[in-house]
Amino acid sequence: MILSYIKGQNNRGFTLIEVIVTLVVASILGVIVFTFMGTSVTQSSIPVIWTKNQYEMFEVMDKITADYRNAVGSTTFDLSSFKAEIEETYSSYNIKAQYTNFIYSGTNYAESGSDTNILKVTVMKSEQSVMALFTQ
């Protein structure tokens, strides 16, 4: 290019080397931007899904709690029949209803399934769960 200016020729345009270097630099920058933005875009829906699942689980637990409040007011309330009602009514959801007991062992509480006066209900969806305790 310097020789062309010396000889008095005025060439307008890019050389093949300049075009190749520009394409290589643009490709490298494109890969870096795509890698960074690709993970951000594909992972951006996870918090929305977690929030949606949490809302659905809380909604189910609210219905179970409302059923409990209605049932506990009657004189014939029995926790085992309430457990059976939960398992039947909400069978379409991933619900685990089991009896539990908490035993104090020095510094911690250990959980066991020996007391029929405490019912532990867990609503689960994927890796999340909501738990509530109901008593006799």
Mean of pLDDT values over 53-70: 90
pLDDT of residue 23: 94
Structure tokens at 101: 């007991």
Q: Over the stretch 92-132, which tens digit does the pLDDT of each residue have? A: 888 888 888 877 777 777 777 677 788 889 999 888 889 99
pLDDT of residue 7: 57
How far, in Å, CA of 37 to CA of 59, rounded?
35
Cβ burial, residue 66 (10 Å; 0-12/13-18/19+): exposed
Q: The pTM is what?
A: 0.63
